[in-house]
């Protein structure tokens, strides 16, 4: 699950979110929803969209907001 979390440290910190075993699935589902990919564990399609979202300031803000709500 969420094999890309190791690359999102800065984003998670910016969102004020700490990943724990208890919230990891919920955060993963929030990320999938934020980039418009149906939830499934560690999908390359999701990571591809997350990388693009990180490069776009408005999409990055959407990801941060989704993580804060999760």
pLDDT-derived band at 6 (thresholds 50, 70, 90) equals confident
CB atoms within 10 A of CB 45: 13
Q: In terms of residue numbers, what domain contains 22?
A: 5-69
Question: In the predicted model, what is the mean pLDDT of residues 4-30?
Answer: 92
- Give the tens place of pLDDT for each residue, 24-63: 999 999 999 999 999 886 678 888 999 999 999 999 999 9
Please check whether residue 35 is in contact with residue 50, taking contact to mean a CB–CB distance below 8 angstroms: yes
Q: Which two tokens stand for residue 61?
A: 């803000």
**Per the structure, how many domains does the chain have?**
1
Whether residue 1 has pLDDT greater than 60: no
Q: What span, in angstroms and rounded, lies between the C-alpha atoms of 9 and 16? A: 10
Alpha carbon of residue 54 to chain centroid: 10
């Amino acid at each position: 699950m969420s094999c890309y979390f190791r690359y999102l440290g800065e984003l998670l910190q910016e969102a004020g979110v700490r990943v724990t075993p208890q919230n990891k699935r919920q955060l993963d589902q929030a990320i999938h929803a934020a980039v418009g990919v149906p939830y499934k564990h560690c999908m390359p399609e999701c990571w591809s969209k997350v990388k693009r979202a990180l490069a776009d300031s408005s999409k990055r803000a959407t990801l941060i907001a989704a993580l804060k709500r999760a």
